Structure 1
């Protein structure tokens, strides 16, 4: 590959890594970003039963599933199936972009030195995948930060990500339980008040 002209290398990579365009989280990415990602992808095989992410462990890579099935299990036991075209470790994308100019807040936010996983991702079958290491992803996002700050891209990342979908489901469940408790207390206090009047 290294002996070919750069444009030929790029065309070969685009052909070999066609699956990257199937990954929903990258659907809105520009061709130049996809080319930069493809240059840094490394092939990896995971055996059935092994884990690619551990709850409480460092998130050091994004894993793009080409063939096979995985399962993501959150802290609350929420399970999300993953298969061809899915990706895990995508929270690295936010980590790489996290600074005061992108995620504005009243106080200046400092990017953490590392990110810990709040879920475990295990292989249900043997899995063929391509891996993008945190250092490589950070390099790509710094090169194309302007494009990745786009609100449309940010929303697509959150909407299509199993990580963010799981987080949203947990938030909704917590809010629903809290509302149910409040309604139950209100009904109980009304019943007690009626008993006192009688």
Structure 2
């Protein structure tokens, strides 16, 4: 976060005092403020593990010069912020004796947040000239993929601190296709991620009078969609460097599913949790070793209205009525599992898709049935009945271990 933004936040701080044993922040309740402790001590209460036993309760003191509720600064990165809802506190804070503090209220933070807030969270800033040079002025021969009418991916080469030349994918937005705010949000959210199965975000360019662009690691082997739907996909992505393979084995499909589930579970474990919103086989890339790389992290709700018709089969049925939550990703993942099992696109009744012919042999049919059962649970219309992505990732890894024994 840059100095100018920090000054604006500091101008919103208000002095406040808390009496002994006052509950300042309560875990699980809306996070309404962040504290900078000026004098006194605050006890931070956390549970070590999931057990409700009081024996697992940890009390961590914080004193003058320290923060409480600092996750509030990441609230604008969450889906809840853009839907007008507060984050839920991940820990409790209680005054130990008399406490004096400077308080930043959530409502005041909302008044500060602008495009620069998100740009300041971006891991690295590139100039427009750097990206033009890297892509030969966005030459058509460098096109990897076009995303409807609002963005084009170009293959480029950039000098990076840890390497002389790094091959990258530059996502250039079409002029006036999307508000700069939404691009900056995507960049800020992607900057928070670091996982082997998530496409690495390298930085971006958000300059006035220039089309915004984001830079990602280059994944050479195309999308999972291309590999599943080999014949239809061939040539459908202009400039694609991938060569869709012959039919993927069940073992390889299970590996890709397990890695994708692990990536989603990781996103959901962050503070605040990152909800993908747009999971589909077109957003699962494969590297040269067929390692899954989840892409399109951090897209805003605005994207939904741009792409919902082409990808409507993947969306949670209650997405528009109840809003997106982590269980929305679980539903989308269930669709991906069904697609992996049947090699059919998510069109029509998904129950019928799962009952269709599954690409397996006799030795692996039992495993395929278990994966199909897991997909059906993910596809439950009732959100509460869907498993968590953590649970899904665990079950798929267990099935991989069983299959490895045969």
Structure 1 length-normalised TM:
0.52
Which contiguous aligned blocks of 4+ residues in structure 1 show a shift greater than 3 angstroms? 152-155
Equivalent residue for 1:82?
Answer: 62
| In 1: Cα distance, 2:22 partner to 2:40 partner | 13
| In 2: Cα distance, 1:73 partner to 1:146 partner | 30
Equivalent residue for 1:48?
Answer: 20
| In 2: Cα distance, 1:138 partner to 1:147 partner | 16
| In 2: Cα distance, 1:96 partner to 1:47 partner | 30
Equivalent residue for 1:113?
Answer: 85
Contact 2:23/2:93 (CA < 8 Å) preserved in 1?
yes
Residues 146 and 56 from structure 1, CA distance in 2 versus in 1: closer, same or farther, beyond 3 angstroms?
A: closer
Q: CA deviation at 1:123?
A: 0.8
Residue 30 of structure 2 aligns to a residue whose secondary structure is coil
| In 2: Cα distance, 1:146 partner to 1:56 partner | 26
Contact 1:69/1:82 (CA < 8 Å) preserved in 2?
yes
| In 2: Cα distance, 1:115 partner to 1:31 partner | 25
In the alignment, does 2:56 pair up with 1:95? no
Contact 2:5/2:117 (CA < 8 Å) preserved in 1?
no
From 51, 58, 64, the equivalent of 2:36 is 64
In the alignment, does 2:19 pair up with 1:39? no
| In 1: Cα distance, 2:120 partner to 2:83 partner | 16
Q: CA deviation at 1:30?
A: 2.7
Alignment of 1:143-154 (within 5 A): 143-151=115-123
From 75, 79, 100, the equivalent of 1:128 is 100
Residues 126 and 143 from structure 1, CA distance in 2 versus in 1: closer, same or farther, beyond 3 angstroms?
A: farther
Residue 11 of structure 2 aligns to a residue whose secondary structure is helix
Residues 118 and 30 from structure 1, CA distance in 2 versus in 1: closer, same or farther, beyond 3 angstroms?
A: closer
- Number of aligned residue pairs: give it: 121
Residue 135 of structure 1 aligns to a residue whose secondary structure is helix
Q: CA deviation at 1:74?
A: 1.4
Q: CA deviation at 1:112?
A: 7.1
Alignment of 1:142-181 (within 5 A): 142-151=114-123
Contact 1:66/1:130 (CA < 8 Å) preserved in 2?
yes
Contact 1:97/1:145 (CA < 8 Å) preserved in 2?
no
Structure 2 unaligned blocks of 5 or more: 49-56, 125-187, 193-269, 272-406
Structure 2 length-normalised TM:
0.27
Equivalent residue for 1:30?
Answer: 2
| In 2: Cα distance, 1:32 partner to 1:151 partner | 17
Q: CA deviation at 1:35?
A: 1.7
Give the aligned CA root-mean-square deviation in angstroms. 2.9
* Higher helix proportion (structure 1 or 2): 1
Residues 31 and 123 from structure 1, CA distance in 2 versus in 1: closer, same or farther, beyond 3 angstroms?
A: same
Q: CA deviation at 1:48?
A: 1.3
Residue 33 of structure 1 aligns to a residue whose secondary structure is helix
